[in-house]
């Protein structure tokens, strides 16, 4: 299991698109991927779950991955959440 704390820096101009893209990024991995924010533990592959987090820039979240490609998953999701090209 890999856990990494990330400060969110997404493009806010596009409403729900950044979250939809995050779900697509998470879904390409075999590993389980969860985002922890405040007291919520949400499956990052679930669009409805991710929408409940209402992430905004400056939020600190924990990205939790577990599985055969967990290292790649946590690295890619960190890049996405911090605004780096994926």
DSSP string, the chain: -EEEEEE----GGGTTHHHHHHHHHHHTSSSEEEEEETTEEEETT-HHHHHHH---TT-EEEEEEESTTHHHHHHHHHHHHTT---
Instruction: Give the domain ranges of the chain.
Output: 2-81
pTM comes to 0.91
For strand 40-43 and strand 32-37, is the pairing parallel, antiparallel, or unpaired?
antiparallel
- Residue 10 pLDDT: 82
Q: Tell me: the pLDDT tens digits for 27-85?
A: 999 999 999 999 999 999 999 999 999 998 999 999 999 999 999 999 999 999 998 86
Backbone angles phi, psi at 3, to 5 degrees: -130, 135
- Chosen CATH of 2-81 out of 3.30.1340.10, 3.40.50.2000, 3.90.1200.10, 3.30.572.10: 3.30.1340.10
Q: Which of 83, 41, 34, 76 is nearest to 58 (CA)?
A: 83
């Amino acid at each position: 299991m890999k856990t990494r704390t990330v400060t969110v820096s997404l493009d806010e101009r596009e409403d729900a698109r950044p979250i939809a893209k995050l779900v697509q990024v998470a879904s390409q991995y075999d590993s389980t991927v969860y985002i922890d924010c405040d007291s919520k533990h949400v499956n990052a592959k679930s669009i409805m779950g991710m929408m409940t987090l209402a992430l905004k820039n400056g939020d600190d979240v924990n990205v939790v991955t577990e599985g055969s490609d967990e290292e790649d998953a946590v690295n890619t999701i960190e890049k996405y959440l911090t605004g780096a090209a994926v």
